[in-house]
Amino acid sequence: MATRRTGNDRESVLIDATLTCIAREGISAATVRNIADYAGVTNGLIRFYFKSKDGILQAAYRRFLERLFEAAHGTIDSDMTACERLERYLLANLSPPIVTADSLLLWANFLPLTHYDDAMADIRRHWYTRTTLAFRDLIHGALEEHGHAPSDTELHRLSVAVNGLIDGLWIEGSLSTETLDIDELQAIGLDATSRLLDIPASPSPAR
């Protein structure tokens, strides 16, 4: 028998086991028995901590998105200049652990579920809103620092463009971790962003 643990601890292990399982074998292989195997417990225990399989999948999706968000925003300090914050944010989004095969696989495995299941859709909406708003503010700050005062429409369009760029580069980078190295990916991302926003690239890239 697995050594006995306090509730939150075991619950956390089970959630991580779910993420590992999905990243390695895909959502179809994420059965209660397989997840239990990854966690080193027996299948019945999952129903002790979660009221259904859907429950553990939702918890896993929440943790995944939260980590993704934190991996990017955790690198930002409020005492940086707006441009520094934007640059840090971009660099974080173009390097591990965000740019990894695992994170892209988790994202792709979860995404369809948000289209067939309302609870999953809510989770995605929640984090999508947080991310989008935060990103918009970052861009707004950087533009102001360079004397630009964009209208709401302009700001929206620029946000969509740069956000799309970063997402696209994230996918390209994650799908070809061998042929495209991180330094180049970051250089491409920073350069492209400075062109899109019409602000000069930072003189000394923090790499």
Partner DNA sequence: GCATAAACTATGCATCTGTATAATATGCGA
Partner DNA sequence: TCGCATATTATACAGATGCATAGTTTATGC
Contacts to a second copy by CB under 8 A? 25-28, 101, 104-105, 108-109, 111-113, 115-116, 157, 160-161, 163-169, 171-172, 180, 184-185, 187-189, 191-192, 195-196, 198
Q: State phi, psi for 75 to the nearest 5 degrees.
A: -90, 0
- Give the pair of three-digit tokens for residue 26: 């895909």
Cβ neighbours around 116 below 10 Å, total? 8
Binding residue for DNA, selected from 24, 26, 42, 121, defined by CB under 7 A? 42
Residue 132 interacts with DNA (CB under 7 A): yes or no: no
Taking the complex as a whole, the smallest distance from the CB of residue 58 to DNA amounts, in Å, to 12
What number of residues does the chain have?
207
Selected range binding DNA among 44-52, 118-126, 144-152, 170-178, rule: CB under 7 A? 44-52
CA 163/CA 30 separation, integer angstroms: 31
- Closest C-alpha to 35, from 51, 50, 21: 21
Taking the complex as a whole, the smallest distance from the CB of residue 60 to DNA amounts, in Å, to 13
Question: What DSSP assignment string belongs to 172-183?
Answer: HHHHTTTTS-HH
Taking the complex as a whole, the smallest distance from the CB of residue 47 to a second copy amounts, in Å, to 20
For binding to DNA (CB under 7 A), which residues are involved? 1-7, 10, 29-34, 36, 41-48, 52-54
